[in-house]
Each structure stands twice: as structure tokens, then as C-alpha cells.
Amino acid sequence: MRNSSRSRVDPFIVMDVMEAARKAEDAGRHIIHMEVGQPSTGAPKGALAAVKTALDQDALGYTVALGLPALRQRIARMYGEWYDVDLNPERVVITPGSSGGFILAFTALFDTGDRVGIGAPGYPSYRQILSALGMVPVDLPAAPANRYQPVAEDFAGLDLAGLMVASPANPTGTMLDRDAMAALIGAAQGQGASFISDEIYHGLEYEKKAVTALEVSDDVYVINSFSKYFSMTGWRVGWMVVPEDHVRVLERIAQNMFICAPHASQVAALAAMDCDAELQGNLEVYRKNRALMLEGLPKAGFDRIAPPDGAFYVYADVSEVTQDSRAFAAEILDKAGVAVTPGLDFDPVRGATTLRFSYARATADIEEGLARLARFMQARG
């Protein structure tokens, strides 16, 4: 049978790196994982306990398409606690992970052929999902001087139907302050472009709190997830906040595309939101790992980096070492036993000379990985 043109999306390179690392482990090697953006911890203990109780008491069938009302209300309360934003819980839509949120947002906001601006470097699935839905992703090459975040000048005159930003960003971990966020929202709205803010790494900040787009405007889409701060990657549950007059639009699409997010995952998510002590403990591990990376990577020879404000990544310019980041990452895996992600995943044009290092694993793994990288670079000369 034939395949559709929309199915011609690029692979998610980090997943290929994970598979190569798995094969090396199956062959008996010990691999340090600095490639994947996944917390080494699991769901909070309170979340697991809540699911166990629910399994004994409930069939856990479908929920309504917008999600459990209690979870929507708790998320709205969190915006008051974290950002001093008074949010109507009716604007919260529970999704099957942030990926489900991207599909819902792009479907609700854009038509076939619409041009949507995305920062480069940026999360690769934005580009692939837009393409698969028949839209046109427009890479906005962000400058190192702007800490790899887009600015209004990057999309002036580009006739965009939408702009998507992420703060803290993947792969760089850099953040937009309130003025920068407001400038982007204003510039996008001034061109009639919809604004989408990916806030999946909120909660993972080290020196100052991340700014939500909802502090600036109600006329935006915000997408978030329980995967990162709440340490629930495999549970596939996230949320969106949308303008009130868009809720019914999203509800209709969600009813047909997904029916609902997994019920058990929603139960776990609700309980996870009250496990702050455990989650803050995880954050302290990442904080220690970040300090180790900012000290150890330059010592190993990876010294051209934008220090991350949040998330758990360091993005490094390796143009003085290689012009082929994919081959270089394969060499590091083979010779050092450290899995890292080629920048081509995040920037198809400039990513051949960059690497992303994740520090989401246990501190002992980060220490060992840095030692291996230092030995590898020294031997390489």
C-alpha cells in the first residue's frame, strides 16, 4: 500500500541514539545516558498510592474529554500558587501528554498550508507534527547572543499564522523573562499570529522562576505536562490552558481524536501535585548535576555553552571539533560509553556542530559520564 505524503517525517534522532545505547548495553557494555530528557526518578510515591487505591475502588473507564474536574481545578489552583495568576479551571484541558496537546493546538488553530514559526534550536517534534498535519514549520534561527531564544526581529515579515516558543527551552534550558515573553506575544499578536507557549519544564528552574505566558495575556495557548517536574514521562498525561471561547473547540477535537487522557494517569497526576517535598528533592539532584556539568563540561573540552536557567540540558557548540554531530555522538558512544544527542535533532541547519547533554540521571551517573568524556576528549587530542 502507498504511504501519504504527510507521513514523510524525519526520525526523532534521540530515540535512535537510545536504541544504539540499548544495543551496546545488550552486548554487555555499561552506558551512561546523557541523551534522553527523562527524569531518573519515577512518579511520586503519593501518586502511586492513589492509583493503587483507585484500582481497588474504580473501573477506571473513560473520563470526560476535558479531563477529571478535580484535576482541572487543582491545576488552576497551581497557577495561583506558582505565578499569582487567577485561572478559571474551565480553561484547563487535560491531554495525553504534551504531544497530545501539540496535536490539539495545531489542529484547533491552523489550516493546511499555514506557516508556524518555531525557534531553532528547538524540540524536533514541533516540526514533524506540523508537517504531518499539513502545515509548514518555519525555523527561526535563534542567535547565541539571545541565548538561543527567538526575538521579534526573527519573524518580522514572515507571514506566520502562529508562533511557538518554549521556556525553559529544549535543548538549551534557557528562559524568557517577562519583558521578552511580552515582546514576543505582542509581536505575534500584532501580525495576527496565534501564540503557543510550551511550558513543560516549568518547575525545573535554578535561579529564578519561569514566566508563564498567562502572566502576560489570556489570548494564548499554554501547553504543559506531568512528564518533567512531576517525573511521570510514561504516564502520558499533560494539560493545556486556552482562551475561554476555545474550550468547546478543543473539547470537540479531543472527543474524536483521543476520547480522553488515560484515567489512571489523571488520578496519579492529581495526587502528584501534592507531593511537593519529594519533587523538590528531585530538583535538588538536578541542581547538583547542573553545577557538575557547568564545571565538568568545560574541563572536558566542551566550553562553548549557554548556561541553562532551567530544564536539565546543556547545549554545546562543538564546531571546533566536528562538522558532523551525528557521527561525533556515535564516536562518543562507541569509545566513551556515553550517549549524547546530536544537535541535528533540534536544528537541521546548524545542528551539525552542536550536541545536547542531559543531566536528568542520578548524580553518580553524571560524575562518571563527565569523567569518561574528559578521558575521551584527552585521548582524541
Specify the DSSP element, H or E, that contains 222.
strand 221-225
Residue 213: alpha-carbon gap to chain centroid: 16
Give which of 133, 154, 134 is closest to 143, Cα–Cα: 154
Nearest to 90 by CA among 242, 300, 297: 242
Q: How confident is the model at residue 306 (pLDDT cuts 50, 70, 90)?
A: confident
pLDDT at 307 over 90: no
Is residue 305 classed as helix, strand or coil in its secondary structure? strand
273 band by pLDDT with thresholds 50, 70 and 90: very high
Residues 6+ apart with CB under 8 A from 73: 89
- Tens-digit pLDDT profile for residues 107-153: 999 999 999 999 999 999 999 999 999 999 999 999 999 999 999 99
Q: 8-12, 195-199, 295-299: which has the minimum mean pLDDT?
A: 8-12
For 84-113, the DSSP string reads -----GGGEEEESHHHHHHHHHHHHH--TT
